Amino acid sequence: MGKVKIFDTTLRDGEQSPGINLNHKEKLDIAFQLERLGVDIIEAGFPASSQGDFQSVKDIATQIKNSSITGLARSKKEDIDACWEALKQSAEPRIHVFLATSPIHMQYKLKLTPEQVVERAVESVKYAAKKFPYVQFSAEDASRSDWTFLARIIEATIDAGASVINLPDTVGYGMPKEISELFEYMTKNVPNIDRAILSTHNHDDLGMGVANSLAAVQGGARQVECTINGIGERAGNASLEEIAVGLHIRSDFYKTGTNIQLNELKRTSALVSRYTSMPIPKNKAVVGSNAFAHESGIHQDGMLKHKETYEIITPELVGATSSNPLGKHSGRHAFQEKMKELGFKGTADELNQLFQSFKTLADKKKTVTEDDLYALMIDQGEDEQVQTYSLQALQVSYGTNQTPTATIKLVKSGDKEITEASTGSGSVEAIYNTLAKLTDYEYRLTDYRIQSITEGEDSLAEVHVKLSKEEQSQSGRGVAHDVLEASAKAYLHAVNRMLNEEKRKKEPSTVG
């Protein structure tokens, strides 16, 4: 049996997670990391849904060479046309067309009869196949669809030109046995099934996303759709890292594997977590910080005697350890070596700047971990974007019987220095009141979260904020050794993103 293809939808279904809003650069960075991870197919977005999605899919399709790129389209000519415009320059243009097949979706959402759904699906797949060499058709809500009807629409769409058929558990309703039987049934009962490969796409509403994906492989699926860290609509999608490691560790059972470079999993997960502002739960399988931590005496004793007593996955397998910790006495060579290992692709000048930031941090911290270095790299990436405002100096005066006051100096548009002071009921509020005056904007703070990137008293602080203004909202993050500085940086990050977005919206549209 060949390898199972991994179809990553972090940039499409993953971005549908409430609260996630990735910008163009973040999407490209994630796409490059997914390519490095060995993902077979990257679903880069839904081109007809917005100008931003269109542009990201187009740029990802032209820049990524070692993974195939696809985009989502409803069964509508306009969506298929937008997808083609975005993907026509990719080495292997692929489209993902979908239409719901469950009674509830057909009747209430689409307001179409089953006959009309078959007609519409066939018409769309035929139209897409005139442009694209690879067409995937998804029968949305397949797990709640009638199996005989599903077999009929699968046969018809394969005849119309689909070479991949996806049977999603759209609302996370299926149970593993049921999902595996669904795939077995289609494999046996669709006469032309050997002309297509079957794909599975599972949501986690009942916590079954990964179990259902693996059950589908048992039932005959040869492509698995999933996301990094399991992000996605509602409770999320099945997580790529758990599926890839599950198929690897239990290859004795599944008799197949994937092209995923497992030792890239940890850094991919960290990058996606940082960019989406979605922290990884400590106990998350494979990539959580407790995944390889053994706490109790009996377990520790077992581990000391023989690691395999309690460890079925080694941290090294998924790229989770750093054997050469960096600190204040580390030099350029060790630093450069580590950055190479972490996938740094910048110029010598950028590396030099990073080295300076690393030295500043190492003066304050005992050990600089991989997570700290990722944070520095991501911070530097932000510097490459247009930053209308940057933080020059911050001073906060605070005392138990005193109103907190923040004095802040910013640099505006690269050269103009502006200074303001303001009070607040707490230090962070004083900072935000001052920044609101300085940036001359009326934002509402709708989310504020602090996370320590690493463990220990001297860890870096990461603050995530969400600012809203009328219908718009933008998230921002700031990393610093000090929580107040990280809070100021996060606010400015969101303001700069908001301003960039406003500027981009004023630029002429190029969709279609």
Ligand X SMILES: CC(C)C(=O)C(=O)O
Are 139 and 153 in contact by the 8 Å Cβ rule? The answer is yes
Are 319 and 263 in contact by the 8 Å Cβ rule? The answer is yes
Instruction: Give the number of C-alpha atoms closer than 13 A to the C-alpha of residue 482, restricted to the C-beta side.
Output: 10
**Which of these ranges, 71-79, 272-280, 301-309, 473-481, lies near ligand ACO under the rule CB under 6 A?**
71-79
Q: Select from 43, 52, 102 the least CA-distant residue to 73.
A: 43
Q: Does 102 bind ligand ACO (CB under 6 A)?
A: no
75 binds, among ligand X, ligand ACO, none (CB under 5 to 8 A by kind): ligand ACO
Q: Does 75 bind ligand ACO (CB under 6 A)?
A: yes
**Which of these ranges, 76-84, 151-159, 163-171, 369-377, lies near ligand X under the rule CB under 6 A?**
163-171
- The dihedral of CA 479, 480, 482, 485: what is its sign? negative
In the block, tokens 């990964």 appear at 210
**Which of these ranges, 70-78, 87-95, 465-473, 501-509, lies near ligand ACO under the rule CB under 6 A?**
70-78
76 binds, among ligand X, ligand ACO, none (CB under 5 to 8 A by kind): ligand ACO
Q: Any binding-site annotation on 248?
A: no
DSSP secondary structure string for all residues of 69-93: EEEEEESSHHHHHHHHHHHTTSSS-
Q: Does 51 bind ligand ACO (CB under 6 A)?
A: no
The binder of ligand ACO chosen from 25, 76, 248, 299 (CB under 6 A): 76
Q: Does 157 bind ligand X (CB under 6 A)?
A: no
Phi, psi of 98 (to 5 degrees): -135, 155
Greatest C-alpha distance within the chain: 80
Structure tokens at 472: 């718009």
Q: Select from 48, 38, 52 the least CA-distant residue to 8.
A: 38
3-state secondary structure 455-485: CCCCCCEEEEEEEEECCEEEEEEEEECCHHH
The binder of ligand X chosen from 201, 284, 338, 365 (CB under 6 A): 201
Is 140 strand, coil or helix? strand
Footprint of ligand ACO on 18-47 (CB under 6 A) = 46
Q: Select from 442, 437, 379 the least CA-distant residue to 406.
A: 437
269 binds, among ligand X, ligand ACO, none (CB under 5 to 8 A by kind): none
In whole angstroms, how close is the CB of 43 to ligand X at the nearest point?
9
* DSSP 8-state code for residue 15: G
Footprint of ligand X on 77-136 (CB under 6 A) = 98
The binder of ligand X chosen from 140, 242, 462, 485 (CB under 6 A): 140
Q: Specify the residue, 7 or 374, whose C-beta has the smaller distance to ligand X.
A: 7
In whole angstroms, how close is the CB of 13 to ligand X at the nearest point?
5
Footprint of ligand X on 31-70 (CB under 6 A) = none
Q: Specify the residue, 218 or 227, whose C-beta has the smaller distance to ligand ACO.
A: 227
Binding site for ligand X (CB under 6 A): 13, 98, 138, 140, 166, 168, 170, 201, 203
- Residues making up the annotated binding site for Mn(2+) are 13, 201, 203, 237
Contact positions toward ligand ACO, by CB under 6 A?
A: 13, 16, 46, 49-50, 74-76, 98-99, 109-110, 140, 170, 233
